[in-house]
């Protein structure tokens, strides 16, 4: 007689599907998730920092991210990494280790950033669409043609699409988005690298021998004023902080699976089960939807023309080294990959090994992207590498790369908005448990789609959110300065302060010991970087308000 399998056979100690991933699986999917994010702005970042400081910044922030990630490995189970329960969200981890005001700080920073990111994506979609129109206009009418376009209509179209997607039930069933994300992220990343190499070798446009570069960043007088150089460097540091501020994305594993992870599952005797290999494979694809686009709102060159109102001057400046975030995307997928590894003591070592491998490989790739782009364009490297090729014969290839970014933005908006939707809806349900408006659900029959369940509160709340973010993006197309401010503020508490404080508390490090002083020094340095970056972003906001006022129109003007 064959013994019947119990519904618990494929479950781990916490009741979740059993994990059996390895360090090799994890490192491969981390690398897959990371490569492509922020690649196109690396050349501009290196140009602002120079041949010495540019690559050094990549390495330093990679090291910081790796170090913080290693600390978080042991926080997956708290307070004891071996015997205690798992924590499924960043806030759960903070609550288990620190509690008190730190939990509120964590929630405020992470959800505030979610809102800012969705507005930034709306702005970026308009800019990328206008960039494609502008490129085609130049090739049709010549490089001196009046090719100014407003991005407002495209932001409105983008908002309408988000209105529909925000009401989509079972968002996890949109599996095609994950496939497109994987393909398109690699597409525009490698297009930029390939065009740069071709330009350096003289096979495409002017070779690298015709550009001017520097060991110590852009030249005062020839490229920028001394004041602009200082602000650019600070903005560069701020955007590194912005890019590395994704540590908060330790969202609940099963919640994220139901939203975006597209995990294959089936019902067995009423219990969910899933194939671990299928799970981790689809995790890497779905994560790319969120990851690759995160730097795209920071990668657009600020084309200028004295006769036109253009995108905020610091839009390109805010790209800078922040998009050097070779491992920022590791922070987004980190917790989810942790939940696919085998349970037990070996899990910690496996994730530590995966982290080290992923850091090494992605650092090499990002250094390649930044240095080849800088070698191709020198100190005139554009904020978005693709814009440097817009007047050349392969403009159709550049258009395709921009289109890839737009498709990513469509999905990424939902990836960032859905957790915030869930958060607000849960809070409201807890606050007014008897409200019919919040609980009522109606079934509507849609031709060719069958029955569709509509929740009154979700319909109204999500629609208001999308409309509001779209209006803010239209009214404040230079909102990216404020987004940079959010990133600068969020970097220190989420990426540095909380992980180090949790480690100190968990390992009971003695006050004023050498180790304690080292942790506090690292935290202080990163706090200073965040404050300086916040000051630079605030300055950008003030300059933008004085220059353009409200409301303004989003234009991509002549260089």
Q: How far apart are CA 103 and CA 98, in angstroms?
A: 8
Given a cut of 90, is residue 482 above it in pLDDT? no
Q: What sign results for the dihedral spanned by CA atoms 375, 381, 385, 391?
A: negative
**pLDDT band of 365, cuts 50, 70, 90:** confident
Q: How far apart are the first and last CA of the chain?
A: 78
Q: What pLDDT, on the 0 to 100 scale, is given for residue 241?
A: 60
Q: What pLDDT, on the 0 to 100 scale, is given for residue 400?
A: 87
345 exposure class (CB count in 10 Å sphere: 0-12, 13-18, 19+) = exposed
Supply angle C-alpha 410, 284, 452, rounded to 5. Answer: 50
Q: How far apart are CA 485 and CA 552, in angstroms?
A: 20
Once rounded to an integer, what is the mean pLDDT over residues 9-27? Answer: 53
Q: Cα-flanking dihedrals φ and ψ of residue 424, to 5°?
A: -65, -45
Residue 372 contacts residue 201 (beta carbons within 8 Å): no
Residue 535 falls within a domain, yes or no? yes
**pLDDT band of 480, cuts 50, 70, 90:** low
Residue 351 contacts residue 337 (beta carbons within 8 Å): yes
Percent of the chain, pLDDT > 70?
Answer: 61
Average pLDDT of the chain is: 70
Which is more confidently placed, 178 or 504? 504
Q: How far apart are CA 55 and CA 49, in angstroms?
A: 9
Sequence-separated (6 or more) residues with CB below 8 Å from residue 525:
none
Residue 442 falls within a domain, yes or no? no
How do residues 149-208 score in pLDDT, each as one tens digit? 788 899 999 999 999 989 876 555 555 655 666 677 677 778 888 888 888 887 555 545
Residue 243 contacts residue 40 (beta carbons within 8 Å): no
Sequence-separated (6 or more) residues with CB below 8 Å from residue 516:
504, 509, 510
39-53, 198-212, 293-307, 463-477: which range is least confident on average? 293-307
Q: How far apart are CA 476 and CA 127, in angstroms?
A: 13
Residue 366 falls within a domain, yes or no? yes
* Residue among 412, 116, 75 at smallest CA distance from 245: 116
Q: What pLDDT, on the 0 to 100 scale, is given for residue 488?
A: 77
Q: How far apart are CA 44 and CA 370, in angstroms?
A: 8
Q: How far apart are CA 229 and CA 116, in angstroms?
A: 27
How do residues 97-130 score in pLDDT, each as one tens digit? 888 898 888 888 888 888 888 888 898 888 888 8
Residue 32 falls within a domain, yes or no? yes
Q: How far apart are CA 327 and CA 182, in angstroms?
A: 17
Residue 5 falls within a domain, yes or no? no
Residue 83 falls within a domain, yes or no? yes
**pLDDT band of 515, cuts 50, 70, 90:** very high
Given a cut of 70, is residue 262 above it in pLDDT? no
Most distant CA pair in the chain, distance: 86
* Residue among 486, 412, 392, 363 at smallest CA distance from 39: 363
According to DSSP, the residues that pair with 272 across neighbouring strands are 267
Once rounded to an integer, what is the mean pLDDT over residues 77-90? Answer: 61
Residue 134 contacts residue 164 (beta carbons within 8 Å): no
Q: What pLDDT, on the 0 to 100 scale, is given for residue 178?
A: 55
Dump the DSSP string for 431-467.
HSTT-HHHH-EEEEEETTTEEEEEEHHHHHHHHHHHH
Residue 451 falls within a domain, yes or no? no
**Looking at the 3D structure of the chain, how many domains does it have?**
1
Q: What pLDDT, on the 0 to 100 scale, is given for residue 258?
A: 34
Q: Cα-flanking dihedrals φ and ψ of residue 170, to 5°?
A: 55, 55
Q: Cα-flanking dihedrals φ and ψ of residue 167, to 5°?
A: -95, 0
**pLDDT band of 239, cuts 50, 70, 90:** low
Sequence-separated (6 or more) residues with CB below 8 Å from residue 239:
45, 298, 318, 319, 320, 321, 322, 323, 484, 487, 533
Q: How far apart are CA 186 and CA 166, in angstroms?
A: 27
Prior bond of 61 cis (ω within 30°): no
Q: How far apart are CA 92 and CA 339, in angstroms?
A: 15
Given a cut of 70, is residue 144 above it in pLDDT? yes
Given a cut of 60, is residue 539 above it in pLDDT? yes
H/E run at residue 266:
strand 266-268
Residue 186 falls within a domain, yes or no? yes
Residue 332 contacts residue 249 (beta carbons within 8 Å): yes
Sequence-separated (6 or more) residues with CB below 8 Å from residue 494:
90, 106, 109, 110, 245, 247, 248
Domain range for 485 is: 23-428+461-548
Q: How far apart are CA 492 and CA 326, in angstroms?
A: 18
Q: How far apart are CA 441 and CA 453, in angstroms?
A: 6
């Amino acid at each position: 007689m064959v013994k019947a399998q119990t519904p618990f056979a494929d479950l781990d100690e916490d009741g979740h599907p059993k994990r059996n991933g390895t360090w090799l699986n994890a490192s491969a999917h981390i690398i897959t998730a990371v490569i492509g994010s922020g690649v196109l702005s690396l050349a501009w970042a290196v140009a602002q920092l120079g041949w010495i400081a540019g690559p050094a910044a990549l390495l330093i922030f990679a090291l910081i991210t790796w170090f913080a990630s290693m600390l978080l490995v042991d926080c997956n189970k708290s307070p004891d990494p071996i015997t205690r329960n798992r924590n499924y969200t960043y806030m759960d981890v903070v609550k288990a280790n620190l509690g008190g005001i730190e939990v509120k700080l964590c929630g405020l920073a992470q959800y505030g950033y979610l809102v800012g990111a969705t507005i930034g994506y709306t702005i970026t979609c308009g800019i990328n669409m206008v960039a494609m129109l502008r490129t085609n206009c130049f090739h049709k009418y010549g490089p001196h043609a009046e090719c100014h376009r407003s991005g407002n209509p495209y932001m409105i179209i983008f908002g309408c699409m988000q209105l529909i997607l925000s009401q989509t039930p079972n968002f996890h069933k949109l599996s095609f988005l994950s496939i497109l994300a994987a393909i398109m992220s690699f597409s525009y990343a490698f297009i930029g690298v390939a065009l740069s190499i071709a330009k350096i070798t003289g096979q495409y446009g002017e070779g690298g021998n015709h550009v001017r570069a520097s060991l110590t960043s852009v030249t005062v007088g020839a490229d920028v004023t001394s004041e602009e150089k200082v602000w650019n460097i600070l903005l560069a540091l701020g955007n590194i902080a912005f890019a590395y501020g994704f540590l908060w994305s330790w969202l609940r594993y099963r919640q994220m699976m139901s939203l975006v992870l597209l995990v294959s599952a089936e019902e067995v005797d009423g219990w969910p089960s899933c194939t671990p290999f299928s799970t981790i494979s689809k995790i890497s694809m779905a994560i790319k939807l969120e990851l690759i686009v995160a730097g795209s709102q920071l990668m657009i060159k600020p084309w200028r023309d004295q006769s036109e109102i253009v995108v905020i001057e610091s839009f390109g400046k805010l790209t800078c080294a922040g998009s050097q975030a070779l491992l920022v995307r590791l922070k987004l997928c980190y917790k989810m990959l942790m939940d696919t590894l085998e349970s037990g003591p070996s899990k910690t070592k496996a994730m530590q090994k995966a982290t080290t491998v992923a850091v090494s490989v992605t650092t090499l790739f990002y250094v390649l992207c930044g240095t080849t782009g800088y070698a191709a364009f020198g100190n005139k490297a554009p904020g978005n590498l693709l814009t440097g090729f817009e007047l050349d014969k392969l403009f159709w290839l550049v258009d395709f790369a921009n289109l890839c970014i737009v498709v990513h933005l469509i999905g990424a908006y939902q990836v960032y908005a859905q957790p915030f939707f869930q958060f607000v809806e849960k809070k409201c349900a807890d606050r007014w448990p008897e409200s019919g408006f919040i609980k009522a659900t109606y079934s509507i029959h849609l031709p060719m789609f069958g029955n569709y369940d509509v929740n009154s509160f979700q319909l109204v709340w999500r629609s208001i959110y999308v409309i509001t973010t779209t209006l803010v993006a239209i009214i404040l197309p230079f909102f990216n300065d404020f987004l940079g401010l959010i990133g600068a503020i969020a970097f220190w508490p989420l990426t540095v302060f909380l992980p180090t404080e949790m480690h100190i508390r968990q390992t009971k490090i003695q006050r004023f010991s050498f180790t304690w002083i080292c942790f506090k020094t690292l935290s202080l340095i990163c706090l200073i970087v965040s404050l300086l970056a916040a000051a630079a972003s605030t300055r950008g906001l003030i300059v933008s308000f004085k220059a353009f006022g409200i409301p303004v129109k989003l234009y991509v003007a002549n260089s």
